Chains A and B, each alone.
Chain A
């Protein structure tokens, strides 16, 4: 069966420090991959999505970047964190199944920038 992993589960980082969040998917091939941020009172905001290795699309201008070095690996990065980068980050994947793309979400990473 398919599984999605995210780590770390929680992270506290100072302003100006770098960031690397990792997401990996097991049990499927060539999935679409997504990074969302869940901020209090703002729901889930799509940050990046990828339809294949090395293919990254950004949805909103921001201090973050994403990379997909392998088919089932999706990384969210920043060179210098801002206070506003605090939030709950969710990775998701989807493939076409039963006639539509259902998105499956990981457990998330809670990032606090101090």
Chain B
């Protein structure tokens, strides 16, 4: 069975601090995809990144970076120099290459205080 675990329910930081959101997944598929989404209070999901299981290269996009480690089944997300606008719920998700169904983690609520 597929599973995504985000152990951190809530994180609170002060603006300009770096913060890492953890994500651990379980799957028996050899080909799969991992995602991070941001959900602001409006509810609309904002796509942040997609990574396939064969690409373990870390990625950096502005203040965002992602660390994918297959050996530990983790796909962690770091925000550098956090800003108040980063406050939201962040979801890590996993999809099977066969079905495309997304399995979401429980979500991490990030609060960035000024």
Q: Indicate, yes or no, whether A interacts with B.
A: no
List B residues at the A interface (Cβ < 8 Å): none
